[in-house]
Copies of this chain bind each other. A is one copy, B any other.
Amino acid sequence: VARAVASLVDAAAYRAPAAHGRPIRAPGHYAGLLRIGRETLAVTTDTVGTKVLLAARMDRWEEVGEDLVAINVNDLASVGARPAGLVDTVLCSRTDERRFRSIGRGLRRGLARAGCSLLGGETAVVPDVVEGTDLGATAFGFFPRGRRPVLGARIAPGDRILGVPSSGVHANGFTLVRRVLREAGLDPRRPRDGGRRPVGEELLAPTRTYSPISEALAPLPSTHGFAHISGGGVRNLPRLSPRVRYVLDRWPAPSPLYRWIQAQGGISDREMYQTFNMGVGFVAIVGERAAPEALQRLRRAGARDAREIGTVEDGRGIVLPALGLRYEGYA
């Protein structure tokens, strides 16, 4: 996949005249950045991916509607941009009013959490291309007067790593989740061992929206970086800065749902932490002495569950000492 994408990106390389806006280079980052007049814009695009297949199986669409907003505004949050607008793309083999209304309700919930306007959308009924329903969106945001993009350049040894819990597996790892369900012959409409509601509902829990986290911390000069822990798990951290080591020595114990997926699928710790968010959906990296004020701001912004989960050190890669895990980077 990486090679194919690289061949598309290489072939597409083009430098637009400055009168059409000036792109800001932020390689490997979560959002594209462009300077237009006196404003800097951030833009992200993502699809819900194969989580829609579980939505179809459970016939529940509100959650993935909310996901569609959250996964995109969380990428904006990772560069410290305030969400402004979103456009959605629904591809489907046929239209279904009830399903579309559920998706719309989920979109509204996500938009309201982020403070983002819906600026348009596209619905394509393409039965020869798509089976079921695919959900994609593009979001863009901006930097209010005086705020600069938060891109990780000032991350340095000694910095503190703060983690904000996830609401579940969000919209990542569903290829693996579906394999586990299939191979174990499990019906997602029934509870797992120790669960109270259908495991499919647990898995569908909508992605938490981290825009308020970013809004609370992005204005502080002591905020050095943000990471949305999406596909790739903890390996997302070196996208911020590859020149340090991320020591995650206080990562919280993952919830029973992760332990259940791991046990059902016989999956290694290494695979789990590079596929799922493992209970921490968003990370903020702040200066050594800034952690107490940052945590206080997060509490005021409604994130009482944020906590310090590690430290930035000299070196390279990501380390989870309690599990004996070490990753080189995102690759």
Contact = CB atoms under 8 A, between A and B. Distances in A.
A87 B32 CA distance: 9
A28 to B, nearest CB: 11
Contact of A95 (B1, B83, B90): B1
Interface of chain A, main secondary structure: mixed
A31 B119 CA distance: 8
A64 interface: no
A162 B50 CA distance: 46
Contacts of A20: 82-84, 115-117
Say how many copies of this protein the assembly contains: 2
Contact of A85 (B21, B47, B91, B102): B21
Interface string A105-117: 1011001100111
Interface in A165-193: none
A322 interface: no
B126 A49 contact: yes
Nearest to A37: B39
Nearest to A11: B104
Interface in A28-81: 31-34, 36-39, 41, 43-47, 49-50, 52-53, 65
Contact of A140 (B91, B124, B132, B140): B140
Contact of A8 (B10, B104, B126): B104
Interface residues of A, number: 84
Interface string A83-100: 111011111000111001
A123 interface: yes
A13 interface: yes
Contacts of A124: 47, 49
A120 B45 CA distance: 8
Contact of A108 (B12, B23, B90): B12
Interface in A120-140: 120-126, 128-132, 134, 136, 138, 140
Interface in A305-329: none
A213 B37 CA distance: 22
A103 interface: yes
Interface of A: 1, 3-5, 7-17, 19-21, 23, 31-34, 36-39, 41, 43-47, 49-50, 52-53, 65, 82-85, 87-91, 95-97, 100-105, 107-108, 111-112, 115-126, 128-132, 134, 136, 138, 140, 142, 144-145
